[in-house]
Structure 1
Amino acid sequence: MLIPKCVLRLKRPFFASLCGRGRIPAIIAAAALTLGMVTQSGVRAQSGDDIHMPSFGDSRLLSACFSPSALKGQRGEIKPVKGVRTFDATTAARTLAAHSPIPAGLSGAIRRVNVRNGAKLIALTLDLCEQTGEIAGYDGPIIDYLRENRIKATLFTGGKWMRSHELRIQQLMADPLFEIGNHGEAHRNLRLLSPRALGAEIEGPQRAYEAAREGFAKEQCVGNVPGGLSTVPPRMGLFRFPFGACNAQSLNAVNAAGLLAIQWDISTGDPDPNTSAKAIVNTVMRKVKPGSIIIGHANGRGHHTAAALSQLIPKLRAQGYKFVTVSELLAAGTPEIVPTCYDSRPGDTDRYDRLPFQKRATTATARPAAGAGAADR
């Protein structure tokens, strides 16, 4: 891991002034700090453009802890199961990894990246969300295909999804192909939440991720790998709004929590069962350009996504596109940032305010974990 010297000197997140105009993109400094990966020990730095983002996972760690059969998706995992409340309780309160708020210059909703020198880099993102009263799916065919073809992706996971899929999230965080991001506790519309519920929806997944990582660290196989979990970030540094919907209050809260808000400029439309694999392929091929961020789903609600990716990825590769994680994409250029969240045009995600089950959850939080203090109830 190579970190710029100016990042190592940072005491407060005034990235642009400390790093100097023209030396490195401020987004690199922000990403390194939000991931909690900048330390004074074990870090080498170089000047200029020879900059490498922190890695995510380690192939040695993955193979030491999980057999090929354990990694492979299993029949019955894909379809969501309704009427299950086993994992509704939030992860117990814990001291979270240190972070700094996102600086003003990087606050807002990031839709895509203007890549330096026109490099044909794109980011595939997949959401794995889960609401209360259910267990959402794990779309093994999608993840298996990405692994077989060495395709990098960024996976935005819900706190509740991580609790109900603890082994899967540990596999994903160990895999160097994948970056893990925060997708809200239980996929609530953050535009509608009270300040207290809003905070719980943002912090819940951070707790779940760090608890899963802590549990993983105790496994004997981890101790057999040089460096252990050193390549697995101690915290998530990216956030995706449920429904892609936000307002000024929720966007500010996410950035204050040290999370970069990641939207997209290309939607597969895969939550709609009437969207065919062919339609997904045609949409992406028509809209893709260097720096694009593509959204799909891998929680059992991405209809025809696996079939579409098996057609789409070879086409994109043939055109010279390379798949990178969101943090790698951000490090390769300048993000396009807007002051609000939307799908294809401003205001189009406001319609989710009218969903009946979202209105009932306006001030609700997930059930507190057993033994949680009054502040968590």
Structure 2
Amino acid sequence: MDFFVILNGKRLKQAFLIIVSALFTAWIVYMENLVQVPVFSTKDGPKAVFKGEKDIALTFNIGWGDEKAAPILDVLEKENVKSATFFLSGAWAERHPDLVSRISKLGYEIGILGYGYEDYTAIEEGAIRKDLAKAQTAFGKLNIKKLSLVRAPTGHFDKRTLKIAERFGFTVVHWSIDSKDWTNPGIKKIQGNIQKAGAGDIILLHASDSAKQTAKALPGIIKDLQARGLKFVTVSEMIANGEAKTEEVR
């Protein structure tokens, strides 16, 4: 006995659209799983902090350069900002002990930005451990010993990084507001990128030489945040003052 299946044109078109839609959705999900999401936590394991509950934290990454860190410290001192967190690479710190000492004496918190500029998602676990250990040793020689925070040098990290950092006794810190100052988009644009910041936000800024406009943008940023009644704290103070927020690892 022969069986025949007859589809009219309308139903065939509907079936085709459903199949295409399903394939497109599957492709989107697949691509999202490939993207490195830079804010992570594990369900039961170590977490990365990206936001708090109240106050606001200015954080500055310094990986290289000789010219931009001092002017930014000048601005913070002039504007009477008592609390900020500087994430320094060990290699930079070794070359600039006077600036490291100044950051510490001004009362600002120091965190580790690795030793070299390594993408932790692209290197082996042993290399991550070696980089963090080398940075820890470098800061120890500079008498900076109370280190509890680390930020992945490129901003990219994964579960391995979280676990390794935990073994070192470090908390991984990301950010909730990116100033994009390293792109040098203009002072007004940098300030505009931070205008949406509110209570609990951790702001990413840079004091490496690639960020040529940050020092000039900083006074306006500080005044705007203060005008909105936001108190500057270090990341550690923010963590201590309330529950830190995290997101799911992908």
| Pairwise TM-score range, normalised by the shorter structure | 0.7 to 0.9
Q: Helix, strand or coil for the counterpart of 2:195?
A: helix
Equivalence for 1:263: 174
Q: Offset of 1:294 from its aligned partner?
A: 0.1
Q: CA deviation at 1:331?
A: 1.1
Q: Offset of 1:195 from its aligned partner?
A: 2.2
2:193 corresponds to 1:283 = yes
Equivalenced residues, count: 208
The residue type paired with residue 98 of structure 2 is L
Out of 120, 123, 133, the residue aligned to residue 193 of structure 1 is 123
2:240 to 310, 315, 331: 331
Root-mean-square deviation over aligned CA pairs: 1.9
Q: Which has the higher helix share?
A: 2
Contact 2:87 2:110 in 1 (8 A): yes
Determine the structure 2 residue equivalent to 1:204. 134
Say yes or no: does 1:308 pair with 2:217. yes
One-letter identity of the residue aligned with 1:182: I
Q: Distance in 2 between matches of 1:321 and 1:302?
A: 25
How many angstroms apart in 2 are the aligned matches of 1:318 and 1:129? 31
Residue segments in structure 1 that go unaligned for 5+ positions in a row = 1-102, 116-120, 214-232, 341-345, 347-377
Verify the 8 A CA contact 1:127 1:298 in the aligned structure 2.
yes
Q: Does 1:253 align with 2:183?
A: no
Amino acid at match of 1:267: D
Note the residue ranges of structure 2 that are not aligned, 5 or more in a row: 1-41
Give the 5 Å matches for 1:17-96: none
1:180 is aligned, of 110, 119, 122, to 110
Match of 1:7 in 2: none
Instruction: Tell me, in whole angstroms, the C-alpha distance in 2 between the residues paired with 1:107 and 1:139.
Output: 31
The structure whose RCO (Cα within 8 Å, separation 6+) is larger is: 2
**Whole-angstrom distance in 2 between the partners of 1:104 and 1:194:** 23
Contact 2:180–2:193 (CA under 8 A) maintained in structure 1 = no
1:129 has 2:95 as partner: no
The amino acid across from 1:200 in the alignment is: K
CA, structure 1 residues 106+171, in 2 after alignment: closer, same or farther (shift >3 Å)? farther
Contact 1:158 1:205 in 2 (8 A): yes
- 2-side partners of 1:321 and 1:235: how far apart? 27
For 2:29, the equivalent position in structure 1 comes to none
- Structure 1 residue 321: Cα displacement: 1.0
Distance across 2 between alignment mates of 1:254 and 1:137: 30
Alignment TM-score, normalising by the size of structure 1: 0.53
Which residue of the other structure, out of 148, 151, 155, is the alignment partner of 1:244? 155
Q: 1:188 to 1:137 in 2, by over 3 A?
A: farther
Q: Per-residue deviation at 1:303?
A: 3.1
CA–CA distance in structure 1, aligned partners of residues 66 and 174 of structure 2: 22
For 1:184, give the aligned amino acid: G
1:113 is matched with which residue?
52
